[in-house]
Structure 1
Amino acid sequence: MHVLVCLRRMLPSRLAAFAVAGLLALSLAGCATAPATGTPVRLDETPRIAVISAFEPELTLLLRQLQTPARHRVNGVEFSTGTLQGKPVVLFLSGISMVNASMNTQLVLDRFNIQAIVFSGIAGGVDPSLHIGDVSVPAQWGQYLEVLMARETAPGRYTIPPRMEAQTLAPFGMLHPRPVETRTAASPAPVRKFWFTVDPRMLETARGLGPIALQSCNAGVCLTHKPQLRVGGNGVSGQAFVDNAAFREYAFKTFGANVLDMETAAVGMVAYSNNVPYIAFRSLSDLAGGGEGANEMVTFMNIAADNSAKVLLAFLAAWK
């Protein structure tokens, strides 16, 4: 628009009129022939399994095992295609947090031909019967920080605003967990859900895995027990690193959670919306505030990351 105004000022009126008409014609022609940009371009049409981790240590062992790797980069995210256990895969880091996980899970679905999603990573242990190094494979995941923050109307007493739906899950102080609104292509009307179940066939495959040699030591750091695999139960995710014994106890009592993390429920929601099967493998790097001393994550995260990856590799080998 500024160019047209300048032309009118600089040229005689008749020449300016011709110039303006020419620029408009070129502009309209460009609009008519510009390619549509609404559909993302696929980088690879091979049907693949998306293998996701949140940050580098969780993906290290899997990248070492990747056969015939090829790399692509979109929006700063590096995607590595190849095969794991004979299965075509694409490996990438979601980034830490629910927002990163949802954004980059949708990105891989848009840019690759994804048939299933598997997540491998570490987590905070919530179930007191689980130990650091154990691997949990929950049957469903929910978002514990999708909440209503209630008004404090008396010391220690909180009131939900009028017309808000009744809460079915117990609150933690002012925090009242709520289901999240979801839509799918098959069901465009909004539906509120708390739990996003993993694919039942994938879960059964995980249940049928034989003995897996899980790691007890790394770089001179060793666990005091032999790690175990636990398939089933619940997992929860939220935008917080939890190192609080009271909240850990609440999460176990309220959600029946085995573990909590910062990504999986977001991945589950994206998988649900896109009708893509998913499952997640999470190994305990710490006890989310339930240990006797300082948080254990930095000490044990490499053991936990490798144990989760080993279970995922066993799963891929068994998955039909």
Structure 2
Amino acid sequence: MRIGIIAPSEDEIRPFINEISNRKLEYHAMLKFYIGKYADIEVVALYCGVCKVNAAIATQILIDKFQITNIIVTGVAGAIDKSLGIGDTVISREVVYHDVAEEILTEYHPWMKTIYFESDKNLLSLCRTIVNDNIFSQNILFGKIVTGEAFIDDKGRSEIISKYDPLCVDMETASIAHVCYVNQIPFIAIRSITDTEDESGVDVFESNCLMAANKSVAIVKKLLELLK
């Protein structure tokens, strides 16, 4: 078993990289891949850069170069559901693009039956065990994550809620799930909230990013400990 851990930015993955033992570094496609062990499990971790194409490049390299058996997405996200506060965590049940036409996925490669990428059932079950068996400072919800690269204004938020009813939004997870789907690699995403409808903007994101990232990484670590 070898687990790939992907986050968009260095701040979102550094708390995990710092705990990898026997760490080595490889470069592929201008990306840094940190290879080693956590909880006696082989891991390869990296920050892929923001947005869908960067995330897809990193995911395919993990699969091709490192023979990854499972992929965990970690990092931060923006809240869509009003029940979420800053620092709360979303664990994906399913993931979907909010800025890709449905027929691109269903009528062309990879000819999906629906537009939703489902998280691996075993990884989901393990995450539920973690939530049930541990006490966390934040609320943890299981549900839908939407991905897209457009700035979300009030109108966009209403349209996303009406069409998808997600918990949160990010710029990478669906593209990672897409690559995992075509390669038949189990995945799950664990994202913590940096900003909400009421508290938003670059300053809010930056001030909350490391705190939220640490909350996601804490769950990733417990998941790896159960996988060993």
When the two structures are superposed, what TM-score results if normalisation uses the length of structure 1? 0.66
Pairwise CA distance, 1:86: 2.2
User: Which of 91, 94, 105 matches 1:137?
Assistant: 91
Write the distance in 1 (CA, Å) between the matches of 2:191 and 2:46.
16
What is the match of residue 150 of structure 2? 240
**3-state SS in 1 of match to 2:150:** coil
Structure 1 residue runs of 5 or longer lacking an equivalent are 1-46, 148-177, 215-226
Pairwise CA distance, 1:241: 4.0
Matching of residues 290-305 of structure 1 within 5 Å: 290-291=197-198, 294=201, 296-305=204-213
What is the match of residue 124 of structure 2? 203
Larger Cα-atom Rg: 1
Change (3 A) 1:191 1:76: same
Change (3 A) 1:293 1:61: closer
Relative CO higher for 1 or 2, CA cutoff 8 Å, sep ≥ 6?
Answer: 2
Matching of residues 36-115 of structure 1 within 5 Å: 47-115=1-69
What is the match of residue 255 of structure 1? 164
Change (3 A) 1:294 1:72: closer
Pairwise CA distance, 1:265: 0.3
Contact 1:241/1:261 (<8 A) preserved? no
Write the distance in 2 (CA, Å) between the matches of 1:286 and 1:235.
15
Contact 2:110/2:182 (<8 A) preserved? no
**3-state SS in 1 of match to 2:216:** helix
Structure with greater proportional helix content = 2
Write the distance in 1 (CA, Å) between the matches of 2:184 and 2:34.
23
**3-state SS in 2 of match to 1:194:** coil
What is the match of residue 165 of structure 1? none
Pairwise CA distance, 1:292: 5.3
**3-state SS in 1 of match to 2:68:** strand
Contact 2:195/2:201 (<8 A) preserved? no
Change (3 A) 1:189 1:198: closer
- RMSD (CA atoms): 2.1
Pairwise CA distance, 1:103: 1.5
* 2:185 counterpart letter in structure 1: V
Structure 2 residue runs of 5 or longer lacking an equivalent are none
Q: How many residues align?
A: 225
> What does the per-residue CA deviation read over 1:116-150, in whole Å, with 9 as the maximum and x for residues that have no partner?
00010100000101111001002000000003xxx
Matching of residues 209-228 of structure 1 within 5 Å: 209=130, 210-214=133-137, 227-228=138-139
Pairwise CA distance, 1:192: 5.6
Over the matched positions of the two proteins, sequence identity in percent amounts to 27
